[in-house]
Amino acid sequence: MPSLRDIEKTVGTIWIDRKTRDWFLAGSPKKKAPQNADELNPDVLKEIDRKGAELYGRLINFGHYDLLCSIYPYCQKVLGKMWELVAEQYFKDYPSDHYNLNKICRHFPEFISKCTEEMKRYPYLAELADYEWLELEKVEDGTSIDKAEDVAIDSLEMISLYSPVVNQTLTLRRYEYPILEITSHFEETNKIRRKFEKEPCNVVIYRDPSTHKVRFIELGNVAAAVVEKAQTERSSYQDLLRLAIEMNPGKNPQDLVVQLLELIEELQTDNVFVGSSKKGD
Amino acid sequence: MASSFLKAKSQLPTLGVGLGLRRELATETFAHSSSIDWLEIVPENYMEIGGSARERLDAAAQQWPLISHGINLSIGSTDELNMEYLQALKKLLNDFDIAWFSDHLCFTSFDGIYLQDLLPLPFSKEAVSHIVERIKRVQDFVERPFLIENISFYMNMPGCEIPETEFMTQILEKADCGLLLDVNNVYVNSLNHGFDPVQFVNELPLERVVQIHVAGHKKIGEYVIDTHGAAVVDPVFDLLAHVLKKTKVNGIMLERDQNFPAFAEIVQELDRIRETASVDPAFLTLSKQERKPSLEFVESSESRGRELRALSA
C-alpha cells in the first residue's frame, strides 16, 4: 500500500509537470521516460484516473499561465507566440513556492534575464518585467505609509532643522532602457517595437497613500541622488542641498537652493516625500 | 468524552446570510450592505497585504462581521505545516476578531510547491491520522474554532480505503473540529461520481456544521465543475433546506467568484437563501446587526495580479 506521501508526490507531479503527464497519459513504454520517473511510485501510477489527471493538469497549468499574464501583460505582448513556452518554463524553473498567489510570479524578472534568446531579441525585456512586478508589489505592499508633519521648508532654519520622510513603499531603480517611454509606446500604439536604444533613466516606484495607486516617476540624476540619500540615511534638507552642490560644482549655489526647494515641493506634492521630521524627533 | 467543539459551537454568533468579499464586487457589496449579514474573506489575499486591499478589509470590518476561509493551509499535505503562514493567519484573525476560520479538506502543496488549487486526498486511514494530528496542532496554535470544508473533486485518488463520509466523520470527530458543509460541492460530486447527495449529507455528523456554502456550477465536457460562476440551481437549494431541517447552523454564504451577474441577481440569491433558511425554526434566531451608514467605497486600480479563490480546479 503506497504511503500518503507517495500518493501526493506521484499524483502531484503528474498534475504539474506537463512532460511527465504527457508520458504518463501516452501509457506507452516506448515513449522515453522523463528524468523524474524514478521518483514516481509505480503502484500509484497504476491507479491514477487518466482523464481526471489530465483535467487537473490542464486546469493547474492554465491557472499559472493566466496568473502570469495578469501580472506581466507587456511582457506577454512583447513575446507574442513565444509567451506560452516561456510561461511554462518559468513555472518549471521556479515552482510555485508561496501561499500568496501573486507572489509565485515574483522571480519572473530574474528568470527572463537568463533567457538568452529572448533577451537577445528584446534586450529591455528583463527591465520591463521588473517594472511590471514592481507595480504589483507596490499595490500589495504591506508596509504602512506613515505621513509626517506637513511643514513649509522656506527658510534656512527650516532647511537645517528638518529632514524629508520618504514614502515607505518607495523603490528607486536605475534602468538601462527608457522604461516609461517603452510602456507608453505599448499603451499608445499597441504595437511591439523590437529595438529601443539604451537610455539610462532613474525611476521611483511607490504607492500613493491618497489614492493607493502605484506611481512611476522619472527623476534626473541629482533628484535621484537626493531621494536615494534621504531614503538610505536620515538627512536634513541642508545635507541634501550640500549633495546637490557637490554634484553641480559649476552652478551658482543660490540657484541650486531655489531649484532644490522647488524639487522638494514637487516630491512632497507627489507623495514621494510624505512630510518632514524635525531633528531629534 | 464530551466534544469541546460542540460546546464552542453553541457559543458562536449566529451571523445569517453572507457573501464573499471580492474586489470585483466590492463597490456593489458596500452599496447593498443591508442585504448582506456578514462577509467571508480569503485570508491569503489580505495576509501582510496593504494598500487598497487592506483599506477594503478595514472598511468591511466596520460594517460586517468577518469570517475567514483559507485556501493554502494544506491540511492534508505531508509537508510540514507552514508556521509562517499560520502566524500571518493568526495575526489577521486576531486583528479582526474573527469568530471562526476554515480551510479545505484537501492538500494544496507537496515538496514545498503550492499548486494553488484544492486537490483531493486519498480516503485512507493514514490520511485520517495525519490530518487529525495536524488539525489539533492548528487549533492549538490559532486558538479559534476551526472548520474543514468538503471539496468538489474530479478524480478519485489512489489509495482510498473508506467512503468519503466515513473519512470526513472520523476526521471531524477525532480532531474535534467543525464542518463547513458546501452543499454545491456535495451536489457536484454526486453528479460526477454518481451517488445520492441526500444520503451523503445524512451520513455526516451534521451537528458539527457551523457554516454552509452555496454556489453555482457548470457542465464542461464530461464533468460538472464547481465554478462559482453561475446561478445556484434548485437541487442545491433543496439540499440546503434538507440540511437546515436537520441542524442549526451559524452562517450560510453565497460563493460567487467569476462571471459576475448584475448585483441584483446576487441579492435575489441571498434572499432565496434567507427564505430557505427560514424553513428551519432554529435558524430563525438570525439577528441582523445594526447597520452603520454605508461607506462610499473608492475603487482603486488593482488591475494586476489575481485574488486567490476557493475553487477546486
pLDDT digits (tens, 9 = 90+) for B154-168: 999 999 999 999 999
Q: What is the CATH number of the domain that holds A181?
A: 3.90.930
Instruction: Please say if the pLDDT value at position B245 is more than 60.
Output: yes
Nearest to A52 among B47, B155, B306 (CB): B155
**A273 and A184, same domain (yes or no):** yes
pLDDT bin (cut points 50, 70, 90) of residue A40 is very high
d(CA B303, CA B300): 9
Q: What is the pLDDT of residue B91?
A: 97
**A160 and A273, same domain (yes or no):** yes
**A180 and A272, same domain (yes or no):** yes
**A198 and A89, same domain (yes or no):** no
| Mean pLDDT (whole number) for A250-265 | 90
Q: Identify whether A148 is part of a domain.
A: no
Q: Identify whether A60 is part of a domain.
A: yes
| Mean pLDDT (whole number) for A232-236 | 95
pLDDT bin (cut points 50, 70, 90) of residue B303 is low
**A162 and A255, same domain (yes or no):** yes
**A74 and A179, same domain (yes or no):** no
**A89 and A191, same domain (yes or no):** no
pLDDT bin (cut points 50, 70, 90) of residue B311 is low
d(CA A68, CA A87): 7
| Mean pLDDT (whole number) for A55-71 | 93
Q: Identify whether A124 is part of a domain.
A: no
List the domain range (segments joined by +) for residue A75: 4-106
d(CA A162, CA A144): 22
Sheet holding A201-207, edge to edge: A171-175, A201-207, A214-219
What mean pLDDT value characterizes chain A?
Answer: 93
Q: What is the pLDDT of residue B201?
A: 98
Residue type at A29 in one-letter notation: P
Q: Kindly determine whether residue A141 and residue B50, on different chains, have CB atoms separated by under 8 Å.
A: yes
Helix, strand, coil proportions of chain A in percent (round to 5)?
60, 10, 30
Of residues A154 and B29, the one with the higher pLDDT is B29
| Mean pLDDT (whole number) for A199-218 | 95
**A169 and A72, same domain (yes or no):** no
What is the number of alpha carbons within 13 Å of residue A123 lying toward its C-beta?
A: 10
DSSP A118: H
pLDDT bin (cut points 50, 70, 90) of residue A47 is very high
Instruction: Please say if the pLDDT value at position A70 is more than 50.
Output: yes
Q: Identify whether A41 is part of a domain.
A: yes
C-alpha closest to that of B232 among B19, B15, B9: B19
Q: Identify whether A114 is part of a domain.
A: no
| Mean pLDDT (whole number) for A10-14 | 96
Instruction: Please say if the pLDDT value at position A105 is more than 90.
Output: yes
| Mean pLDDT (whole number) for A219-230 | 96
Q: Which of A106, A131, A164 is the last residue of a domain?
A: A106
Q: Which of A66, A88, A106 is the last residue of a domain?
A: A106
- List, in sequence order, every residue forming a beta bridge with B107; answer none if it has no partner: B119
Q: Which of A46, A75, A106 is the last residue of a domain?
A: A106
Nearest to A136 among B107, B114, B305 (CB): B305
Cell of B158: 489512489
At a CB cut-off of 8 Å and minimum separation 6, what does A32 contact? A23
Of residues B308 and B94, the one with the higher pLDDT is B94
Count of CB atoms within 10 A of residue B199's CB? 10
Distance from CA of A253 to the nearest CA of B (A): 40
| Mean pLDDT (whole number) for B68-79 | 98
What is the total count of domains within chain A?
2
pLDDT bin (cut points 50, 70, 90) of residue A28 is low
Percent of chain A with pLDDT over 70: 99
**A82 and A178, same domain (yes or no):** no
Q: Identify whether A55 is part of a domain.
A: yes
| Mean pLDDT (whole number) for B239-261 | 96
pLDDT in tens, A119-176: 999 999 999 999 999 999 999 999 999 999 999 988 889 999 999 999 999 999 999 9
| Mean pLDDT (whole number) for A62-75 | 94
Q: Identify whether A77 is part of a domain.
A: yes
Residue type at A137 in one-letter notation: E
Sign of the Cα torsion B35, B38, B43, B47 reads positive
Q: Identify whether A91 is part of a domain.
A: yes
Give residues 154 to 213 of A whose Cβ lies within 8 Å of B. 169, 207, 211-213
C-alpha closest to that of B192 among B159, B217, B212: B217
Nearest to B300 among A10, A98, A211 (CB): A211
For B157, nearest residue in chain A (alpha carbons): A48
Q: What is the pLDDT of residue B312?
A: 52
**A15 and A102, same domain (yes or no):** yes
Q: What is the pLDDT of residue B209?
A: 98
Cell of A31: 515513449
Interface test with A, best of B155, B167, B258, B299 (most A CBs within 10 A): B155
End-to-end CA distance of chain B: 38
**A165 and A271, same domain (yes or no):** yes
